[in-house]
Amino acid sequence: MQGLCECDEDIAKAHARIGAPAPRNRPQGFATLLQTIVSQQVSTAAAKTIFGRVEQALGELQPQQALRVGVQGLRDAGMSQRKAEYALGLAEAIIDGSFPVDSLQKLSLQDAVEQITRLRGFGQWSAEIYCMFSLRHQDVFPADDLALLTALQAMKKLHARPRAKEARALTEHWAPFRSTGALFLWHWYHDYRSGGDG
């Protein structure tokens, strides 16, 4: 956090008041990517429930098990038809080697994002979140995240919520600490939403 506070006065002031965010790390591999699919466009509570059912249906969170239960098995666990297809596409790509899940950590951020977004169901945001929390890239700012954009608007006292391109420009001086900056903005956003003074 020190480097980030040194390059941004607003972050420094907020950090002095609310402290640093807790680390947020996720394991690499199929299970986390599958959870990403399950979590898309549903509440956190719903995602947790559905993922628990998926885990129970698979028995073991491995691509081979996903192919074994198939689309219908995943749908019975609560996934939509489209998400079930995404999950099987992910499983097939890992098994046939077209998606090098175990080698992603060796790639640059740009190349890792490119590999992930080739998969159906994974956009820029999903890829950047995986790179942040699973691959531990230090300089990621997932600018399509609505909470980050809202937090950036409030913290910087902007007249309007910035677009993704504008947000990337506004946080460019955070490099090479943009992952920490994003994590801090989420931390600040939750405090702000709960009645903190920003």
Lowest pLDDT segment from 3-7, 84-88, 185-189, 193-197: 193-197
Q: Let me know whether 15 and 57 are in one domain.
A: no
Q: Let me know whether 151 and 118 are in one domain.
A: no
Phi-psi region of 136 (alpha: psi -120 to 50; beta: other; left: phi over 0): left
Q: Let me know whether 122 and 37 are in one domain.
A: yes
Give CA–CA dist 110/71, Å, rounded.
Answer: 31
The per-residue pLDDT for range 99-112, each reduced to its tens digit, is: 999 999 999 999 99
Give CA–CA dist 179/43, Å, rounded.
Answer: 24
Q: Let me know whether 126 and 35 are in one domain.
A: yes
Counting the structural domains of the chain, the total is 2
In Å, how far are 92, 149, 162 from 142, measured between CA atoms?
A: 27, 10, 13
Give CA–CA dist 182/163, Å, rounded.
Answer: 15
The per-residue pLDDT for range 164-192, each reduced to its tens digit, is: 999 999 999 999 999 999 999 988 887 76
Query: Is residue 35 included in any domain, yes or no?
Result: yes
Query: Is residue 156 included in any domain, yes or no?
Result: yes
Query: Is residue 110 included in any domain, yes or no?
Result: yes
Q: Is pLDDT at 194 greater than 70 in this prediction?
A: no
Q: Let me know whether 35 and 129 are in one domain.
A: yes
pLDDT at position 41: 78
Give CA–CA dist 128/122, Å, rounded.
Answer: 10
pLDDT at position 128: 93
Q: Are the C-beta atoms of 26 and 123 separated by less than 8 Å? A: no
- pTM here is 0.86
Q: Are the C-beta atoms of 149 and 161 separated by less than 8 Å? A: yes
pLDDT at position 191: 73
Query: Is residue 198 included in any domain, yes or no?
Result: no
pLDDT at position 96: 95
Query: Is residue 126 included in any domain, yes or no?
Result: yes
In Å, how far are 21, 63, 69, 117 from 84, measured between CA atoms?
A: 34, 12, 10, 17
Q: Is pLDDT at 65 greater than 80 in this prediction?
A: yes
Q: Is pLDDT at 132 greater than 90 in this prediction?
A: yes
Q: What CATH number corresponds to the domain at position 43?
A: 1.10.340.30
Q: Let me know whether 39 and 116 are in one domain.
A: yes
Q: Let me know whether 76 and 111 are in one domain.
A: yes
Average pLDDT, the chain: 90
Domain containing residue 116: 30-133
